[in-house]
Amino acid sequence: MENERLTIMFCAFSGPPKIVRLYCRARVVARGSQEWPSLIEQFPSHSGRRQVIVGNVEFVQTSCGYAAPEMKLVSQRKTLTRLAEVKGDEGLVEYRRTHNRVSLDALETPVTDASE
């Protein structure tokens, strides 16, 4: 990670308008690391899992959310699950190797596959 900063934003799309931001220092825990088994067991199983981001909250900020639109969840998409099933573990590793090496702002991303 370039600077370890992470911001997590929660936004109410129904009910009272409210936005909460958690400003954190974060680190990446990749598959194959010693921490992986104890961390990943805390999450539901999904195909293609490759890393856990651990954030230590340093500051919390709330705002009104008056401009946030009201929305509702229609359904979950199955596209990522289907892609992971079709590609398989090795195919996902290769996909990330060729498509996810550099961030949108041209920063090198950490290697997150145990096979690398």
Q: What is the pLDDT of residues 72-84, one digit of tens each?
A: 999 999 998 899 8
pTM: 0.74
Residues 47, 85 contacting (CB under 8 angstroms): yes
Could you tell me the pLDDT band of residue 96, with boundaries at 50, 70 and 90? confident
Give 3: exposed, middle or buried? Use CB within 10 Å, 0-12, 13-18, 19+.
exposed
Q: 20 has which bridge partners? A: 10, 62
More confident residue, 106 or 58: 58
